[in-house]
Amino acid sequence: MTDLRHYQTPLRQTPFHPRTSAANRLHAWAPWAGYATVQTYDDLAMEHSAIRNAATLYDLCPMIKYRIEGTDAAACLNRLTVRDADRLAVGGVHYTVWCDDAGHLIDDGTLFRLAPDRYRLCCQERHLPWLLDSAFGFDVRITDETGEIAALALQGPTSAVVLRAAGFDIDTLKPFRMAEFPFAGGHLTISRTGFTGDLGYELWTTPDLALPLWDSLTDAGALYGLRPVGSEALNIARLEAGFIIAGQDFTPAPHCLREDRLRSPLEMGLGWLIDWDKGQFTGRRALLRQRERGPHWAFVGLEIEGNVAAEGAILYHNRKTEIGVITGACWSPTLKTSIALAQVKARHAKGGNLWAEIYALRELHYARMMMPARVVARPFFNPTRKRQTPPGKL
């Protein structure tokens, strides 16, 4: 029977909600893919500090997850995405993107190969109609399994120690690989992946084991600075890592109302992902043409003078010619500098005489500042510990 009072709780609660709501001292909630998710639990600075100096838990349940399985699963994904899904080993993970026929970005995400004929695609936006249309003619089944999985990110330099203390032997687990472990009468999959650019893991289980998993990790992490973090701290960490987000750093093609807002993988600095030799994939011909003539836009990392976050700032060349926009920015507590990600005209991708027009709120009035900006390599923060196998022991 339909719940006639559903309007009172318009957002779904994740399997971890009893724990995240109890810890959310600020009651700072925001919607993510139809779920209520925490923005900041109690102290943003301390949450970010834990990502870089201890260990953190982040509720990943709202992230969209699709199961793609069948004898043609690899062939279907090769037609859909720009990377070669057939070359991804079982137990492996890779980052990928997919486009429309015109080569414009639809979304990015991570692809997990769970078995020879079964994959999981995780992403920001919902794409089931697109995926089903793209699967026409392939022997493949595509299922939205978002609600069937409880997912948790365990990130930070002590994350491996926490997992060891919880009884999981992850010493041989390499970056972008996953392994399965027994847990509480069920199973737990641990992948060495994450969105912080640091040592970290993502944990995948069934909703009925969500609370036992949370409690097991918090008990094991009590001596190692483990704390839950919200999306605001994660956003600072992902900016330091130079990672992009659909809907913030680029507008997904199906959402674009203005033709000049469409972007391709080449224009977003993602050309290195494209496997040109694997055969036809959606958008390949358009991307080949763009590669030949050169992209109109580029995506760059910036360091900006001053200590005011430059999010949304317009970029100028020589203080007068508009050449781009900053899509994400923050004052980096780790690097002690103002950093940003930006879309710029391709001819300005190497920088030189760039200025950011920043409006800073000063006691109810905005102060306009023109601050010098310098193009720098991404990632801004790239610690060796995220690649070490086995991870360092404290």
Binding site per annotation, positions for substrate = 202
Question: 201 and 154 in contact (C-beta within 8 Å)?
Answer: yes
Binding-site residue ranges: 202
The answer for residues whose C-beta is within 8 angstroms of residue 230's C-beta and 6 or more apart is: 24, 28, 37, 38, 39, 40, 41, 44, 47, 58
Distance CA 372, CA 249 (A): 21
What are the residue ranges of helices labelled H in the chain? 17-23, 44-53, 73-80, 128-134, 159-165, 210-220, 231-241, 284-293
Q: Are 79 and 281 in contact (CB under 8 A)?
A: yes
Residues contacting 350, CB < 8 A, separation 6+: 375
Residue 221 φ/ψ, nearest 5 degrees: -95, 5
Beta pairing, strands 226-228 & 55-59 = parallel
Say if residues 323 and 344 touch (Cβ distance below 8 Å). yes
Sort residue 11 into left (φ over 0), alpha (ψ -120 to 50) or beta: beta
Find where tokens 């959310």 sit: 24
Give 275-343 as a DSSP string.
-TTS---TTHHHHHHHHHH--SEEEEEEEESSSS--TTPEEEETTTEEEEEEEEEEEETTTTEEEEEEE
CA–CA separation, 314 vs 329, rounded Å? 12
The residue type found at 90 is V
Cα torsion for 249, 238, 85, 129, to the nearest 10°? -50
Amino acid at 341: L
Secondary structure letter of residue 230 according to DSSP: -
